[in-house]
Structure 1
Amino acid sequence: MKPVIRAFFKTLRAVLGPVMLLKERLTQPRGVVREPARQTTVNLQCQNLALYQFSTCPFCIKVRQEMRRLSLPIARRDAQHDAAHRAELLQGGGAVKVPCLKITDASGQSQWLYDSAAIIAYLRGRFAVA
């Protein structure tokens, strides 16, 4: 019975995955426009951030949409298909759970932020246009 259930869900993911990616592409929000100097500062700050994600995860899509809305060039790391990124997420964050935002401070210390709502709140709090 388990192989049948696994096959069902694998087929379901194969069918719904492209639909979810198409919906994401068609509903991309417009990014905020900042003054060039301010956007350069934001871009530099985003170099210390990395989003570990699965491409068709609905919660990851939600975070990526917010990144577009805030015009944030945050590095995306595929923890689903890239074994090195998956291992880094497991070692650093403690769990292979996505989305996960890796925040590295100036001293090189990393904080791993799980949960899409917490990630979005962090991004809005740090990068929202006043």
Structure 2
Amino acid sequence: MFIVRWIIGRIILLLNFVFSPSGPKRTAELQAEIDTSTQHLSLYQLPACPFCVKVRRSIKRDGLNIELRNINQNENYREELIKEGGKRTVPCLKITDENKKVTWLYESSAVVDYLHQFAR
């Protein structure tokens, strides 16, 4: 089963690379403003997860700069996701507000909908 998942994962990554969306063209000032408004966001994800690919493609299409945290490459990210988020499910968006309150948003469609508010 591992080999099948590995092969499908590589196909997903290849197709994502070949058909990668382009970001919007913005002025440097507007992009800097958007980057500032999204600096409190982190996406916990896996590279070959189809739902994570969906979210990353939306991020690229909207021209957002969101920190990506691969839970397979960094054990601290994985442990933080499990301990603070409550489960090891990706994609998961960590949202830290100005009062340092943290919200964990699961489900790719919910994450995409939330991130659309930052695209202008």
Q: Cα RMSD between the aligned structures?
A: 1.0
Q: Give the structure 2 partner of residue 28 of structure 1.
A: 20
Amino acid at match of 2:98: A
Shift of 1:79: 1.2
User: Quick one: distance in 2 between partners of 1:96 and 1:70?
Assistant: 26
Question: Within 5 A, what are the aligned runs for 1:1-130?
Answer: 9-124=1-116, 126-129=117-120
Shift of 1:80: 2.4
| Higher RCO structure, 1 or 2 (CA under 8 Å, sep 6+) | 2
Amino acid at match of 1:34: R
Amino acid at match of 1:29: P
The structure that has the greater radius of gyration is 1
Work out the number of aligned pairs and report it.
120
User: Quick one: distance in 2 between partners of 1:45 and 1:128?
Assistant: 10
Q: Give the structure 2 partner of residue 3 of structure 1.
A: none
Shift of 1:47: 1.3
**Percent identical:** 38
SS of the residue 1:127 aligns to:
coil
User: Quick one: distance in 2 between partners of 1:17 and 1:43?
Assistant: 30
Amino acid at match of 2:114: Y
TM-score, with normalisation over the residues of structure 2? Answer: 0.95
User: Quick one: distance in 2 between partners of 1:34 and 1:118?
Assistant: 25
Unaligned runs of at least 5 residues, structure 1: 1-8
User: Quick one: distance in 2 between partners of 1:18 and 1:112?
Assistant: 28
Amino acid at match of 1:33: K
Unaligned runs of at least 5 residues, structure 2: none
SS of the residue 2:30 aligns to:
helix
